[in-house]
Structures are given as structure tokens and as C-alpha cells.
Amino acid sequence: MDAVSVIRAKRDRAELTDKQIDWVIDAYTRGEVADEQMSALAMAILLNGMVPREISRWTEAMIRTGVRMDFSSLPLPTSDKHSTGGVGDKTTLPLAPLVAACGAAVPQLSGRGLGHTGGTLDKLESIPGWRAALSNDEMMTVLRDTGAVICAAGDGLAPADRKLYALRDVTGTVESIPLIASSIMSKKIAEGTGALVLDVKVGTGAFMKSLDQARELARTMVGLGTAAGVNTVALLTGMSVPLGLTAGNALEVRESVEVLAGGGPADLVELTVALAREMLAAAGVSGKDPETALKDGSAMDHWRRMITAQGGDVDAPLPVAREQHVVTAPATGVLTGLDAYAVGVAAWRLGAGRARKEDPVQAGAGVEIHAKPGAEVTAGQRLLTLHTDTPERFAYALEALEGGITVDAPGTPYTPEPLILDRIAV
Ligand code: URA
């Protein structure tokens, strides 16, 4: 077997054989297939696609490069959620303790932000003392004691994906349904969760810009999960407007705690409760309703225990950025557009995200939103507050917001897109 013949086959639109797939994934992980060869193959896959058999074999081959976790010793069924990434999407933070409060165990292996979408671990690290890196034993202890754990995936889980994802990120080969589906599902199947709810984001702030693309991605992932014995469903949710009223690490933690205290913005609460109900149903748990657990304080109790178990000080003040800049409404009328991608890039440029994996992030940086589309606004009224420790970034963030805010004449009708656009199950 050699890399060039595998690349040529996909370049010429042939289906890769099982043998070719198994070999190329294993050889790439061991360093025998070079990065430039794998990037050529990834580009051929992006351009020419894969049939379902190839996607499922590719996913299995990636799982086989690492360890598989096993939660069968836990007394509770496990349920996990994965979002394909959005702006202001902090749902994992309130969701994990909420689902734990309702009777399922939540092993949530999460990632860091890259580009304009935020990462769960970066957000939680703004809580003083909180640790993302846990050993397998520590992870099991937190999960057993508190019902939920959010931590970094260890190096041993689907190492082929770790290498391939980093390569795709710098070779323009992220936006491929076979490659995204196999990347996400190899990690989730290796993680060993019993049930999985996928939040497939659609819109300007998401990888999938159209509903048709998002449906295809969701169907592919639900098929892979189901075939591997994971009870998998997907919600397709809107991501053309940021979720909630904040984008940025500590800002999003603050808003998540508001949700756990029974408050928080309506869209964030709606999505959190909908995902929690799906996670519980997929795990076969019919305990407390998530809305009740947000109101009676039990979700907050689980949050406090989960964060404390990972070294976090739940009562410590969250970091606040040193400098603020207010963006005002350019005219009087109806705010009809607040583009998720523009806000995500602004938050990233303010220091909430990183351009390269090794860059540090600013805990307090980001964007606070004072008005969402549909609101009547007056010229000069506060729309956004930008936060950063490095004020030279304001101009760069404001540039990202150009064209991202639309105010139409007073009385212009505005019909919001439903937050939940579709549900895909087998
Ligand atoms: N998230 C992943 O883990 N992989 C992708 O390819 C895209 C989003």
C-alpha cells in the first residue's frame, strides 16, 4: 500500500477500499504518511466526497488509533451533547449539571475555541482554580461524585483525529461533511457515552451555512452513532444571531450561572432545556423535568459541586476586562440584524479566542449584547459593549462588526427564525 495510490484513487473519484482506509489512517497516525500527503487526500475527499461505507470505515479506523473509554461501572446511564460550534454557545456549561440534576451522568469531553467560535474549556478556565486536564481516574471520580464532568479529552482518544484536525485547520479542508462527521463521531464513540445529542448549528456563525448541508451532516452523524450502538439524535439550531447576550469566556460563564439560578436570556434557556430533555430521553431517564431543576436550585447545586471538584472557586469574582468600548445604534428603528459571524470575529479579535492553538486567551474579553434583533432602538442607544485588556484591539473588532448590525425603519416587521429548526433521529 502506498499513499500516492490512495490519493490518486480519491482524486479520480473512486471509492476507497476498506483496506486503503485502514492503512492510510494508521500509517498517518504513525507518521509513515506525511502531512503533505494527508492534506492532498483531505482535499480530494473535500472535493469528491465519500459514500456512507467509506465514512463509517474512516470513522472506525480513527477510533482504532486510540483508547476507548468505558463508563459501564457507573450506576447511572450516560448522556453527552456535542455542538458543531457557534457564537455565544455556552449551553454545555448549564446543561451538564442540569442533566445530572435530572438523573443521567454527563461525561463531557470538550475542546478549546479556534477561530471565531468559543471553546468550553477556555470559558471554564476563567473560573479561578478550575482545571481542564484530569486523569481518567479523576474524571471517573468527579463523574461518580457529582453526576457530571467537563474536561479535556486525553491524548489517547482518537489520536488520528487530533493530528488530522490540526492539519485540516491549516489546509482549508475543514468544511467537508465526511471529514467533520468522522472527526466528531470518532471522539464521541471512543468516549463511550451511551446516548448522544448533537446540536448542529446552521447559519452565518456556523460551519454549515444552509439547512440542507446541516441536515446531511446531522443524518451522517446520527447514522454513525446509531451503527456504533450510541443512541444518537440531532437538533438543527439557528446560528445566524449569537446565542444569549454574551460572547467571550468569563462573560459566558456569568450568563450560564444566571441560567442555573433560574434566569438568563430566553433563547439560551429554551435551547438548554430542549437539549436537556433530548439527552434525558436518549438515555431513557424520565426523572425531574429540566425546567423544574433550574427553578428549584438542584441544577445550581450540581454546578457548584462539579466546579469545586475540579479545583474551581465558585464564589470567587470572575475576571473583568480592563477596558470597555460601547457600540451605539446608528439610527432609530428596528434592529433587524446582528450577525453571529461578525460578533464572533469581534470577540475573537478582542482576545477571547486564539489564532493558533498555542496562543493564550483573555478571560475577560468579549462582546456583551444589549439588544437582540426585533428590538426597537433609538439612535445613540447602547447596542454592544466590547471588553478587552488590550484597547488597541478595539479598532480591529469594530472593523469586524462593520455590516454586521442592521437597523431598518421604525415599524419594519421582524419575524425571528425559530431557534430549533429540525430534529433528526433514525
Ligand atoms: N468539530 C470537530 O471536532 N471536528 C470537525 O471537523 C469540526 C468540528
Give the pLDDT band of residue 356 (cuts 50, 70, 90). Answer: confident
How close is the Cα of 1 to the center of ligand 1, in Å?
28
User: Which option is the CATH number for 79-153+169-309: 1.10.30.50, 3.30.360.10, 3.40.1030.10, 3.40.50.2300?
Assistant: 3.40.1030.10
Work out which ligand 1 atom sits closest to the CA atom of 84: 8
Task: State the average pLDDT over residues 275-288.
Answer: 96
pLDDT higher than 70, residue 133: yes
Rounded mean pLDDT of 132-147?
93
All three cell numbers of 328: 451605539
Question: Atom 7, ligand 1: which residue's CA is nearest?
Answer: 180
Residue 376 grid cell: 426597537
What's the pLDDT score for residue 113? 78
Average pLDDT value for residue range 359-380:
96
pTM: 0.95
Q: Which CATH number fits domain 3-49: 1.10.10.10, 1.20.970.10, 3.60.21.10, 2.170.150.70?
A: 1.20.970.10
| Among candidate residues 103, 33, 99, the one with its CA nearest the CA of residue 61 | 33
Ligand 1 centroid to residue 265 C-alpha, Å: 27
More confident residue, 68 or 111: 68
Contact 205, 340 (CB under 8 A): yes
Ligand 1, closest atom to CA 179?
6
Question: CB under 8 Å, gap of 24 or more: what pairs does 228-232 form?
Answer: 228/185, 228/189, 230/188, 230/189, 230/193, 230/194, 230/195, 230/196, 231/194, 231/195, 231/196, 231/282, 231/283, 232/195, 232/196, 232/197, 232/198, 232/282, 232/425, 232/426
Q: Cβ(217) to ligand 1 under 6 A?
A: no
Give pLDDT, residue 346: 98
Cell numbers for 347 = 470577540
What are 76-93's pLDDT values in tens digits?
Answer: 999 999 999 899 999 999
Confidence category of residue 210, pLDDT binned at 50, 70, 90: very high
Region at 65 (left for phi over 0; alpha for psi -120 to 50; beta for the rest) = alpha
165 CB near ligand 1 (under 6 Å) = yes
Q: What percent of the chain has pLDDT over 70?
A: 100
184 in contact with ligand 1, CB cutoff 6 A: yes
For the sheet with 231-238, list strands across it: 79-83, 195-202, 231-238, 420-424
187 in active site = yes
Residue 123 Cα to ligand 1 midpoint, Å, equals 18
How many Å lie between the centroid of ligand 1 and the Cα of residue 381? 38
Ligand 1 center to 295 CA (angstroms): 34
Q: Is the CB of 23 inside a 6 Å radius of any atom of ligand 1? A: no
Mean pLDDT (whole number) for 365-386: 98
Look up residue 387 and give its three cell numbers. Answer: 471588553
On the question of pLDDT at 115 being above 80, the answer is no
Determine if ligand 1 sits within 6 Å of the CB of residue 183: yes
Q: Which candidate in 89, 122, 161, 339 is catalytic? A: 161
- Residues 155-189 have pLDDT tens digits of 889 999 989 988 998 898 988 999 999 999 999 99
What pLDDT, on the 0 to 100 scale, is given for residue 307? 98
Atom of ligand 1 nearest to the CA of 184: 3
Question: Mean of the pLDDT values across residues 301-316?
Answer: 98
Question: Tell me, what's the pLDDT at 17?
Answer: 98
Residue 84 CB less than 6 A away from ligand 1: yes
pLDDT of residue 112: 83
Closest residue (by CA) to atom 2 of ligand 1?
184
Q: Where in the chain is the domain with CATH 1.20.970.10?
A: 3-49
Annotated catalytic residue, options 81, 82, 162, 349: 82
Work out the pLDDT band at 114, boundaries 50, 70, 90. Answer: low
Active site residue 82: yes
Cα 313 to ligand 1 centroid, rounded to whole Å: 31
Residue 358 has pLDDT above 80, yes or no: no
- The CATH 3.40.1030.10 domain(s) of the chain lie at 79-153+169-309
**How far does the centroid of ligand 1 lie from the alpha carbon of residue 259, in Å?**
27
Over residues 16-35, the pLDDT tens digits come to: 999 999 999 999 999 999 99
Angle of helix 394-401 relative to helix 340-347, nearest 10 degrees?
Answer: 170
- Active site annotation includes 370: no
Residue 19 designated active-site: no
> Which numbered atom of ligand 1 lies nearest the CA of 187?
3
**Averaged pLDDT, 243-251:** 98
The residue among 157, 166, 214, 142 whose CA lies nearest residue 189 is 157
If you take atom 6 of ligand 1, which residue's CA is the nearest one?
180
Q: What pLDDT is recorded for position 207? A: 85
Give start-end residues of each CATH 3.90.1170.30 domain in the chain: 323-408
Q: Which CATH class is domain 323-408?
A: alpha beta
**pLDDT value at 259 more than 90:** yes
Q: Residue 239 corresponds to which cell in the numbers above? A: 446560528
Q: Is 110 a catalytic residue?
A: no
